[in-house]
Structure 1
Amino acid sequence: MTRKARKNTGLGGARRTGVLATLLAASFALVPPTTAHADGIRAQQWALEAMRAKEAWQTTKGEGITVAVLDTGVDAQHPDLAGNVLAGKDMVGFGAGRGDRAWARHGTAMAGIIAGNGHGPGNADGVMGIAPEAKILPVRVILEDGDSARGKARNTRGNALAEGIRWAADHGADVINLSLGDDSKSAHPEATEDAAVQYALKKGSVVVASAGNGGEKGDHISYPAAYPGVIAATAVDKYGTRASFSTRRWYATVSAPGVDVVIADPDRKYYEGWGTSAASAFVSGAVALIRAAHPNLAPAQIKELLEDTARNAPTGGRDDSRGSGFVDPAAAIEQGGKLKPEGLSSAAYGDKYFGSGPDIPDEDSSTGWAGPVAGGLGGVLLIGAVVLWRGRREPRHTTDGDPDY
């Protein structure tokens, strides 16, 4: 499907005054613990069935594919990620470390969505990702909301995202997941970020980003999702209905689960989260499966393939709310030998998913979404923003060693 041309808003010179934020969970409130065992989590992962993961897994589970997660860091010791996390890079160079509650929460959640492999007998416990045999390359480019070093990062690490994208592309990333963005009123393109994205695409890395959580706050353009060539993921619920917080813009590529998403946490508890962060991670997992099945496809071909094989397509083929429809990795794998699939139809998946669904409550709030415990000991997760203010740029001061993140 032909995509609308990207807007040229003048990349040179301007400095963004908004924030770069992760677009899922940032703060949490504990509630009384539940006695539910972790293996109950799998039953709550509605996204696996909705995305027809088992059908895709008949071909591949993502073996041989590296997905870079540019985020707040990833807990490589989480049991659901055991053996699936490579040595990465800390582009911030300071901030909270292992054992601190302001460390690697959002990044670990995204890594679990992409490449979680559960744990316990038969890996039946915990979170299962869309591409459970893919490897995660963690690149820390942003700090968690509760990190006391955010102010320092605001003043000194404004280029961390651009540097992280280039580093990931140079270190074997087949897919680069960006579950973050600046969708403030002042958001605008950054020349260094756009150049980094184009660099990664030319090196063969598929770049996926969150479309933005501004659906109830003006639908402001979100970057990096709006950069040319990026696959922008919008969020839907299990009925295929656009999440009220999901940004509606021309760059929307496909939709993916972004409501009631089960996520893993470094505290070894499980939560439910909301946000286009999750949608981006699900799409990155889908891309990992497609790349494993068809390693010679270029990023632009994979983007087109996702669009042309999406299910539950909007009237007219696409819209700004859900792009071309709901991502379907199994269909994309099946049609992967075609550069531009012809005559594809949306695959029906029964009434369980993408039926009429409930009415969207009027009282939904983009700043106070909360969900019940997903399993194990834990609580609800309030959705907020992990921020890294981007202001004055200074040279990077990091080492080549592998930090603990």
Structure 2
Amino acid sequence: MDRMSGTDEPGKEAGRPRRRTPRTPRIAHIGRTRRTGLLALPLAASLALVPSTAAHADSIRDQQWALDAMHTQEAWRTTKGAGITVAVLDTGVDDEHPDLAGNVLPTKDLIGFGAKRGDRTWARHGTAMAGIIAGHGHGVNDADGVMGVAPEAKILPVRVILEDGDSARAKARSTRGNALAEGIRWAADQGADVINLSLGDDSESAHPEPSEDAAVQYALKKGSVVVASAGNGGKKGDHISYPAAYPGVIAVTAVDENGTRADFSTRRWYATVSAPGVDVVIADPDRKYYEGWGTSAAAAFVSGAAALVKAAHPGLTPDQVKRLLEDTARDAPTGGRDDARGFGFVDPAAAIEEGGELAPDDLRSASYGRKYFGSGPAQETEDDDATGWAAPAAGGLGAALLITAVVLWLGRPRPEEFSEPDDEFAV
């Protein structure tokens, strides 16, 4: 039964903590229009997301079904993420957005050119992800706009990619191909508690890049939890997606409000947990709100959940946080895990409760220096930061990352509130 039904399924792994009864809400049917932008080639993956008319704030908050599904109110009795920094490696974040004001630290721009504030192709995807993670709403009692999973956490923006519609993207591809690896290391050096990677290369030619893998292992050893989108290739061959497939990463698949796997969500062995990725309301620098879907959003929700766990239990290592989210996930598949939804639907409240019973581990346990996954044995290496990839020399994928590392996001308009398409949110 692939729904968040409130009952445990038979066949769960013995010894895992008891799943809590979910209180998953149902929202009114919004109405569906033809999906746009799901193209075969990542380079051309554009989304027709259209600006809304002025929407009442309560209608925005009411559409955030994910917050109730994730038991955030219960988690917030313990913490709302204060003291935690989540690095968002993306297209930039609008620090002046009313739902994020005061929660965004200065941006580290590892691209150095491209769209600027005020341009339509500036910081759209990154702002959307930041809102899911740490939006605090605005207005009286913060009742307007988008509320994030960890509304008191700080966002550390690291610009490592450009929006698909940015005219400078080709230049970024040829000159800043290693920005992702650099950004992961930089974020870890700044003490980021969580690193959100709502991006990835899930093309047919995707392969592991040693510099990125080493950067992930470096971040884990420094104590940063690393979260990534599992991929939007569920209808395109389920190709392996990187960085989600690197060892130690919390790879997130997408489900709808019923807990059913989204058809676009990639199914692979590295899936850790699932999270909301369908009918998700997002904030935008244009001060309008949009609804879309993708494993980008799912990863951002789990980054918010990880922030809450770290705030409640700051001594836990990345590996402990990962295991907690696995062990306390709800609606686990038969057998305890599968490639579609990992260990089940993320539940930060349950993870916070279980985390109180753990003692902090040595940070060495948070790295995966000799652990290989997939076919073939681990390759011995003198670099303890690497995981022994049988891959081309460093620089191959990195140089192409910005053109093939699609920000994993699909979108559609909400018929009641959106006008006809007049622009593209290209990611």
Q: State the shift of 1:34 in Å.
A: 3.6
Residue of structure 1 in register with 2:414 after alignment: 372
2:73 partner letter: K
Matched, 1:276 2:295: yes
2:237 partner letter: G
CA distance in 2, matches of 1:67, 1:50: 22
Deviations 1:334-371 (A, max 9, x none): 0002349xxxxxxxxxxxxxxxxxxxxxxxxx997524
CA distance in 1, matches of 2:81, 2:326: 20
Deviations 1:124-179 (A, max 9, x none): 00000000000000000000011000110110011000000000000120000000
More strand per residue: 1
Deviations 1:249-302 (A, max 9, x none): 000000000000000000000000110000000000000000000000000011
CA distance in 2, matches of 1:382, 1:282: 26
Asked whether the equivalents of residues 297 and 409 of structure 2 are also in contact (C-alpha less than 8 Å), the reply is: no
Matched, 1:160 2:179: yes
Report matched runs for 1:295-334 at 5 Å: 295-334=314-353
CA distance in 2, matches of 1:136, 1:76: 9
CA distance in 1, matches of 2:420, 2:291: 9
Residue of structure 2 in register with 1:74 after alignment: 93
1:95 partner letter: G
2:128 to 89, 109, 119: 109
CA 281–26 in structure 1, closer or farther in 2 if over 3 Å, else same:
farther
CA 65–368 in structure 1, closer or farther in 2 if over 3 Å, else same:
closer
SS in 2 for 1:278: helix
Asked whether the equivalents of residues 273 and 326 of structure 2 are also in contact (C-alpha less than 8 Å), the reply is: yes
Matched, 1:287 2:287: no
Asked whether the equivalents of residues 211 and 232 of structure 1 are also in contact (C-alpha less than 8 Å), the reply is: yes
Asked whether the equivalents of residues 49 and 424 of structure 2 are also in contact (C-alpha less than 8 Å), the reply is: no
Residue of structure 1 in register with 2:212 after alignment: 193
CA 56–147 in structure 1, closer or farther in 2 if over 3 Å, else same:
same
Residue of structure 1 in register with 2:198 after alignment: 179
Residue of structure 2 in register with 1:128 after alignment: 147
Matched, 1:28 2:48: yes
SS in 1 for 2:213: helix
Q: State the shift of 1:120 in Å.
A: 0.3
After TM superposition, the runs of 4+ consecutive aligned structure 1 residues lying more than 2 A away are 18-22, 25-31, 33-36, 337-340, 366-369, 377-386
Asked whether the equivalents of residues 30 and 380 of structure 1 are also in contact (C-alpha less than 8 Å), the reply is: yes
SS in 2 for 1:127: strand
Residue of structure 1 in register with 2:355 after alignment: 336
Q: State the shift of 1:380 in Å.
A: 6.8
Q: What TM-score do you get using the length of structure 2 for normalisation?
A: 0.76
2:329 partner letter: A
2:112 partner letter: G
Q: What percentage of aligned pairs have identical amino acids?
A: 77
Deviations 1:5-60 (A, max 9, x none): xxxxxxxxxxxxx99889xx9533437x5453123100000000000000000000
Deviations 1:183-241 (A, max 9, x none): 00000000000000000000000000000000000000000000000000000000000
Residue of structure 2 in register with 1:88 after alignment: 107
Asked whether the equivalents of residues 116 and 128 of structure 1 are also in contact (C-alpha less than 8 Å), the reply is: yes
Residue of structure 2 in register with 1:348 after alignment: none
CA distance in 2, matches of 1:175, 1:302: 10
2:198 partner letter: S
CA distance in 1, matches of 2:191, 2:330: 31
Residue of structure 1 in register with 2:168 after alignment: 149
CA 250–383 in structure 1, closer or farther in 2 if over 3 Å, else same:
farther
Report matched runs for 1:234-253 at 5 Å: 234-253=253-272
CA distance in 1, matches of 2:253, 2:423: 19
For structure 1, which runs of at least 5 residues remain unmatched after alignment? 3-17, 341-365, 387-405
Asked whether the equivalents of residues 290 and 336 of structure 1 are also in contact (C-alpha less than 8 Å), the reply is: yes
Asked whether the equivalents of residues 21 and 180 of structure 1 are also in contact (C-alpha less than 8 Å), the reply is: no
CA distance in 2, matches of 1:205, 1:379: 42
Residue of structure 2 in register with 1:356 after alignment: none
Matched, 1:62 2:81: yes
